[in-house]
């Protein structure tokens, strides 16, 4: 439209056109900012922890943000975005923040391995984190340590020491576990039978340390009643708590967090990763349908 035609246009018509144009622009901005479908973000620290899910991803696309690669697509019926965070709480928090800012996930899942603190949890078992806690976020005094939550930079309030997962996600994970075909733990000899995988709902402790100490294992179990220990989950849960994004941590047990942890990790990590990934996959299908869990899907990983 030329400037002359705009000058000749009646004032009412001109304002009407301007209003329509403004509404159209606003709608376009909202369409860019908001994803067309609900998305679940999935984070794993190491490449191997997300590889089983990436192998099942359809309509796969890659997007790089500040050097991190995010893969989008579908896992079964659910639209997802997957990324590798790298080890440790800072890396995990950075990746979680970028995922939330750029993909607006409806919920966020953390998958991968953990060391067992619970004597009843053995390698290749699975823990669903009803709560997460940063075991190394402490106040150190001459009389000992006091664990507490970080102060929320958005509100100034202190976060809870134990960040609770949404009950709805935990319940979905419990139902999904009952329908998941886990990889059994191979027996120690060819004559022994495979051991069934156990899934528990418990507490996952997070810190910037790979725990391979019986003394530390006992301390964390006694002080926190934690069932497993790893290096990312509670940091992601804190980010999600502050940004009001539902979060659930699911971990496969790779070792017993004692002096044999490194050797056990080499032996059991593959199966532990697969079992966590299988449960995550089935949780996604339940999230997509928002109703009772469908029949178990037979997966190759």
Active site residues: 49, 255
Residues written for the chain: 301
**DSSP per residue, 9-64:** S-HHHHHHHHHHHHHHHHHHHHHHHS-SS-EEEEEESSHHHHHHHHHH-EEEEEEE
> What is the rounded CA–CA span in Å between residue 145 and residue 147?
6
Identify the helix (H) or strand (E) that includes residue 152: none
* Radius of gyration of the chain, Cα coordinates, nearest whole angstrom: 23
Among 112, 71, 64, 62, residue whose Cα is nearest residue 92: 112
> What is the rounded CA–CA span in Å between residue 65 and residue 294?
35
> What is the rounded CA–CA span in Å between residue 241 and residue 153?
12
Q: CB of 108 within 8 A of CB of 40?
A: yes
φ, ψ of residue 140 in degrees (nearest 5):
-95, 125
> What is the rounded CA–CA span in Å between residue 19 and residue 62?
38
Provide the token pair at 240. Answer: 């999600």
Taking residue 299's Cβ as centre, other Cβ atoms within 10 Å add up to 18
Q: CB of 245 within 8 A of CB of 105?
A: yes
Q: Would strands 247-255 and 78-84 be described as parallel, antiparallel, or unpaired?
A: unpaired
């Amino acid at each position: 439209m030329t400037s002359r035609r705009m000058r000749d246009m009646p004032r009412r018509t001109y304002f009407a056109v301007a209003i329509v144009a403004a509404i159209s622009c606003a709608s376009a901005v909202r369409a860019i900012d908001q994803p067309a479908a609900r998305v679940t973000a999935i984070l794993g620290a190491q490449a191997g922890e997300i590889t089983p899910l990436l192998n099942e991803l359809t309509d796969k696309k890659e997007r790089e943000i500040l050097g991190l690669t995010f893969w989008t697509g579908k896992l079964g019926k659910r639209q997802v975005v997957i990324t590798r965070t790298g080890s440790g709480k800072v890396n995990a928090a950075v990746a979680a923040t970028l995922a939330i800012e750029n993909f607006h996930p409806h919920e966020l899942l953390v998958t991968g391995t953990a060391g067992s603190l619970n004597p009843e949890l053995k390698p290749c078992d699975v823990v669903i984190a009803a709560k997460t806690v940063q075991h190394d976020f402490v106040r150190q005094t001459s009389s000992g340590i006091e664990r507490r939550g970080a102060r929320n930079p958005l509100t100034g309030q202190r976060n809870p020491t134990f960040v609770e997962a949404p009950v709805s996600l935990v319940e979905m994970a419990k139902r999904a576990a009952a329908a998941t075909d886990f990889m059994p733990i191979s027996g120690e000899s060819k004559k022994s039978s495979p051991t069934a995988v156990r899934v528990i709902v418990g507490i996952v402790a997070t810190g910037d340390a790979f725990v391979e100490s019986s003394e530390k294992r006992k301390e964390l179990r006694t002080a926190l009643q934690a069932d497993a220990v790893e290096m990312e989950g509670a940091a992601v849960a804190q980010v999600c708590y502050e940004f009001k994004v539902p979060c659930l941590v699911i971990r496969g047990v790779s070792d017993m967090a004692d002096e044999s942890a490194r050797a056990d990790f080499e032996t059991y990590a593959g199966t532990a990763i697969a079992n966590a990934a299988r449960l995550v996959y089935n949780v996604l299908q339940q999230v997509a349908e928002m109703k009772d869990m469908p029949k178990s899907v037979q997966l190759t990983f």
